[in-house]
């Protein structure tokens, strides 16, 4: 069965970087884009960007341009999202999600809580 398993919770200081991993299994990793979505406490869902595991190409929401990098390792079927220059407003649960053929996220990771605090 399709599974996306994310890395554990992180606590970071303002100005630091965080790298969240998303291990895919149960399907052909290179055949589906991975998107990243975050959710601040008590807030809605916010799209951050996409990454094509086959080519390594990525596209980012304007809000995160220059601060986010999405990469992958095909040998271990894992996608990564790195966010730099963290500030308190980046405190959120970060999700990876597989995009289906109709541009909708059909499978989601369990989420990774990133807390930014001095």
Rg (CA), the chain: 13
Nearer to other proteins, 41 or 89 (CB): 41
What residues from 42 to 101 belong to the interface with other proteins (CB under 8 A)? 44-47, 50, 59, 61-62, 95, 97, 100
CA-to-CA distance for 1 and 91, rounded, in angstroms?
31
CA-to-CA distance for 110 and 102, rounded, in angstroms?
22
Tokens of 104: 């909708």
When asked if residue 35 is in the footprint of other proteins (CB under 8 A), the reply is: yes
Query: SS3 for 47?
Result: strand
When asked if residue 21 is in the footprint of other proteins (CB under 8 A), the reply is: no
Instruction: Name the site residues for other proteins (rule: CB under 8 A).
Output: 35, 37, 44-47, 50, 59, 61-62, 95, 97, 100, 102-106, 108-111
């Amino acid at each position: 069965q399709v599974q996306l398993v994310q890395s554990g919770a992180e606590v970071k200081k303002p100005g630091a970087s965080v790298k969240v991993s998303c291990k895919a299994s149960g399907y052909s990793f290179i055949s589906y884009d991975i998107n990243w979505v975050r959710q601040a406490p008590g807030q809605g869902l916010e799209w951050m960007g996409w990454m094509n595991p086959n080519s390594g190409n990525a596209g980012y929401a304007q809000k995160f341009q220059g601060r986010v990098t999405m990469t992958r390792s095909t040998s271990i079927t894992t996608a990564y999202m790195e966010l730099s220059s963290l500030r308190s407003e980046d405190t959120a649960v970060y999700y990876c999600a597989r995009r289906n053929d109709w541009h909708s996220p059909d499978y989601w990771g369990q989420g990774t809580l990133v807390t930014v605090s001095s």
